[in-house]
Amino acid sequence: MKALRERILRDGKCFEGGILKVDNFINHQMDPILMKSMAVEFVRRFASTDINKVMTVEASGIAPAIMVGYLLELPVVFAKKKKPSTMENMLVTSVYSFTKDRSYDVCVSGDYLCKGDKVLFIDDFLANGNAAKGVIDLVRQAGAELVGMGFLIEKAFQHGGDYLRGQGIHVESLAIIESLDNCEIKIRE
Amino acid sequence: MKALRERILRDGKCFEGGILKVDNFINHQMDPILMKSMAVEFVRRFASTDINKVMTVEASGIAPAIMVGYLLELPVVFAKKKKPSTMENMLVTSVYSFTKDRSYDVCVSGDYLCKGDKVLFIDDFLANGNAAKGVIDLVRQAGAELVGMGFLIEKAFQHGGDYLRGQGIHVESLAIIESLDNCEIKIRE
């Protein structure tokens, strides 16, 4: 998606260790007009997909997911990174974070992720795919069906996308970063 | 706001200790159509206010805030509840949570909350107002101006709204809960 590629090149900041910060328009300050445009692009790319629920993980996934849900007029469920004390019918999975070198729990209520749901998962980043694997596990536990996964930015050199596509999952990424070597952002055209 | 009042009465769940759960349409599963309608109502109520930035706190504030930002075509900044290791120019405040009986840090980058900003703060709940006080402190640290605070649901019996209005802040709440005594939801007409 051209507008996103250009914005990443203009406002993205690259740090040692393959880190791309987009705090200016996605992860801390958000550009709602761009969010809506990206949501429209997801609607286009998943146009032939039968979806009845949008899912994401807090916190940075919420903005693009609510925009997709708004356009499709579908409920949006966000999985939580901390187990709430009062969640009913809780489904939990463990996700290993390479960046932080520790595992954390991601949970969702089986009241809102249900058997038979056709789930489109939306998130900001796809890197090594560990968070995505957690989502796959939650969807499986719920007896729901994962019909697609949409990411704003995929870091191709961390290979999570290879894994997900290898599993037969319909993955769409709006910008694909080929490399951040030498802190230079290379985006696939 | 009638649609929200009706939804709370229909889908809200009341628990001991003045707890109202709206996980069905705001805090876990979200209704994007209602979110948009609530954002339109905020735009109406703050119509005469000069705003250049929308601010919220992760995670449940993000959805209503991004909708307001989208309608107003303004950037949206979400404060974070954990200090990121890499945030530049970080402003921090401590917020005491009655529910959890502990304090937590809320932070925002001074790169995105700036001197001269006219900030509309949007969040899901207003209870005792401690989170709101933290936001007031962050806005003050940044040298910005808080021009209004909009909440989806205010729990009047926890008096945060009294405090904020007493400070001369323009507060708008789309539904005001008078009481949750005996687990019965009483909403101001």
Tell if the CB–CB gap between A78 and B59 is shorter than 8 Å.
yes
Instruction: Using an 8 Å CB-CB cutoff, list chain A residues near B75.
Output: 29-32
Confidence tier at A85 by pLDDT (50, 70, 90): confident
pLDDT digits (tens, 9 = 90+) for A99-117: 788 999 999 999 999 999 9
Determine if residue B17 is left, alpha or beta; phi over 0 gives left, psi from -120 to 50 gives alpha, anything else beta. left
Q: CB distance from A36 to chain B under 8 Å?
A: yes
Taking Cα atoms as reference points, which of B114, B79, B88 lies closest to residue A27?
B79
pTM value surpassing 0.90? yes
Please say if the pLDDT value at position B144 is more than 90: yes
**Tokens, residue B150:** 């909009």
Is the distance from CB of B142 to CB of B110 less than 8 angstroms?
yes
Confidence tier at B65 by pLDDT (50, 70, 90): very high
Rounded distance between C-alpha atoms, residue B173 and residue B126, angstroms: 8
* Interface predicted TM-score (ipTM) of this complex, two decimals: 0.96
Consecutive H or E run containing B134: helix B130-142
> Do the bridges between strand B13-15 and strand B19-21 make them parallel or antiparallel, or are there none, so unpaired?
antiparallel
pLDDT at A84: 82
Scan residues 96-155 of B and list those with Cβ closer than 8 Å to A. Answer: 108-109, 111-112
Instruction: Using an 8 Å CB-CB cutoff, list chain A residues near B78.
Output: 28, 30, 59
Strand segments (E) across chain A? 13-15, 19-21, 29-30, 53-57, 76-79, 90-97, 102-109, 118-126, 145-155, 171-179, 186-187
pLDDT at A87: 85
pLDDT digits (tens, 9 = 90+) for B86-102: 788 999 999 998 778 89
Position B1: which residue type? M
Taking Cα atoms as reference points, which of A5, A12, A76 lies closest to residue A41?
A5
**Smallest Cβ distance to A33: which of B58, B62, B70?**
B70
